Structure 1
């Protein structure tokens, strides 16, 4: 009986050693567990980086872009004489309705006199003010007719806009270089806010009165960038 108890104790004490030996005998078990832990840690790091990038875009980049766009719109409306588009406006007739309501509440006169008072208050509203003189707006320049691709002395000019779009058009080399600026204005980029520059080498395109496209260096197919001018304080 005692020998059986000793045997049981020996077996129990030998179980941990037996388990370790079995684990050592299974190839790649520890490596698989380590790899799982590493994958879990990498996944947590990637999720943390993605959340951090999303917060940066939402809290920093997006407000910065909205503020920049708002400033450009304000300068554009001021230049075009349409600053009224920047105001929220107010309801027409609001003040007159308020005056009429106050008069009705505070008046102690008879209904006939009150009606006459209302008619007198409304009299100035019947006079139609003369129409204000329209503010002159800058006309959108016309472009010369686009020549065919098979015509002689023809170059293709591409405009890379800040929005990312690329516009292409054909011109004669003898055409005035001013047509490039007219084209830029026509697609929505005013010369007071934007300018043109060559892609390589990168430099501002000079347009002098009387110059042709060939005089300005546009003798072959060319890509031009529409870039925002630096605003001086």
Structure 2
């Protein structure tokens, strides 16, 4: 379309020249003059054709270069995107390995140390040893405050907390150690003792709370056994 437009433009520009030559040659126009005029016209058309051909080929040569440039840019962007994706995948794998091999063990170690400190502060260090299995016994239902023969026992734990529970005096005295184990202190590592005067609480089979002297509200201490301290 562009080449046709250029041809038309040159033809229109050549038309005045042709008219001028014809006008000049009308008074004495002969065969020789017609031949010369035709030659000039064909020469002009040939020159115009050459110019149009060169111009068209030049335009056509520019278009592929621009197309190839755009295709090259797209290919370059595609390669860069693939490189970025591979780099991101590699960074993700490194981060995952770092979390799995470094951060996770560090966090587990910190949690373990915090757990050890917690149990040391609460006096429940036996929970850190795998050699003792905690068997939690079932306790009888706590009686109401208005029930007959009721006594309240308070346990002062190594952590400083104090727990209270009501019992019936006629219950087996073993229920005190069952309660101690229920709150997390194993009887193989801890013992019970009276507050004042301080003496170890001895529980024998078949003896009731009343038999071992628990007849009024009493405070007992949960103490770590001596063999544990060595």
TM-score (normalizing by structure 1):
0.44
In proportion to residue count, which structure has more helix? 2
Please identify the structure whose Cα radius of gyration is greater.
2
